[in-house]
Amino acid sequence: MSMFAAIIRVWAFVLLTLVGLQLIPLILALGYGEISTSQSFMAAMGMEIFLAIAILLAVARRHANPMPGEGIFFTALIFTTFPVFLGLPFVIEKQIGFAEGYTEGMSAITTSGGTLLQFERLNIPLKLWRAICDWFGGTLFLLVALVVLGPIKMGGLYSPRLTGAIGTGSINAQMGTMAGLEAQASLGNRFYQAAKYFVPIWLFLTAAGIFLLAFSGASPLEALIIGLSSIVTAGTFGVYLHPDISLLSEFTISMMMLIGALSFPLIWAVINGTRLTQIYRWELYDFLRVLGIACLVVAISHYVLLDASIEVVAYVLMNAINIISTTGFVSEELNTIPVILALTFATIGGCSLSTASGLKIFRVGILVRS
């Protein structure tokens, strides 16, 4: 029972984090006078708080000793149950039924980008919540992947310094110690350490992108929604990408999608000024080469290969990254690219263990290694 106590204890804390995020659309709903929506969020939060506290009290006196396979069970529990809570406000608001709500939540937690919602019928708090669901799903996925896949050296998420830090809580600059992993740190401690090293950087990158979008002319709501969806390569809110979008907005969205398509240890190493290992350099060079080919294909298919204006460069770059990151913002430009080429580049991008369709590789990889 100790393994399951560790799993559901961490699960309950993640659920309370989700409750905290629901405060954002709740406050917005109260500010806009959306009484029904605010009641829906309060009802969902009440049920989630009750469940989380009940679980924490039930396992409070149980010693959670590390056990083999707990990461796999934790992953399965997270990705089968949390879609219920992500879609719950929409269900209580009677925008969709329970089955559709679960589908919506699963789309968000896997950053797939599909939706059954009719955006024109959603008020502002619910639109924002759908974008937060995408961001939460991508963030949670990367956290779980760092905790579970890093130690078994899979998916480009192993870094001696970062993976060792997740196990120990400190980084040994000389040795890149793995002592914490050898000592089998508890699931809760590993999850906390991963969040400590990952979440601040991810929040900074997200906030910077949203600020640049707002600075480039997008409304605060558009900047929030597009920014939250872009960095996790969800592509749910392509409806907000207007034909007259500014150049700065195009470059910002492109960079946010690109960040979401790269493995986090690579981003972490760059931000911390750590010298990239040969493996990470190869990974980055290969990715950029494929991106260059994708840009060339987009330019040829749109007959703009010889046009080097800044507008065309931004246009080509955004569409190429949109495909290779598997973000999938719906646009008329996608219809002009040969289907086989679009699918080829999307498949290549989907094989990188990032928010860019990484969950598909995540499932297969864990199954094989387990």
The per-residue pLDDT for 288 is: 81
Instruction: Say what the pLDDT of residue 31 is.
Output: 93
Q: Summarize the confidence of residues 331-339 as an average pLDDT.
A: 59
Q: What is the pLDDT of residue 361?
A: 44
pLDDT in tens, 214-245: 998 888 888 898 899 888 888 776 655 656 67
- Average pLDDT over the chain reads 77
Q: How far apart are CA 27 and CA 141, in angstroms?
A: 26
- Least reliable range by pLDDT among 34-43, 235-244, 278-287: 235-244
pTM (2 d.p.) = 0.82
pLDDT in tens, 156-207: 555 656 666 565 544 443 333 334 444 456 777 778 878 888 888 899 999 9
Grouping H, G, I as helix, E, B as strand and the rest as coil, residue 305 is coil
DSSP code, position 120:
G
Helix residue ranges, H only, the chain: 2-32, 35-58, 70-92, 98-109, 124-148, 160-168, 179-182, 187-215, 220-231, 247-261, 264-271, 278-301, 310-324, 339-350, 358-369
Sorting pLDDT into bands at 50, 70 and 90, what band is 20? Answer: very high
CA–CA gap between residue 169 and residue 190 (Å, rounded): 8
Report pLDDT for 153: 60
pLDDT at residue number 353: 45
Residue of 331 and 116 predicted with greater confidence: 116
Read off the amino acid at residue 326: T
When pLDDT is averaged across residues 237-258 and rounded to a whole number, the result is 76
Q: Which residue has the higher pLDDT, 231 or 315?
A: 231
Taking residues 106-133, report their average pLDDT: 87
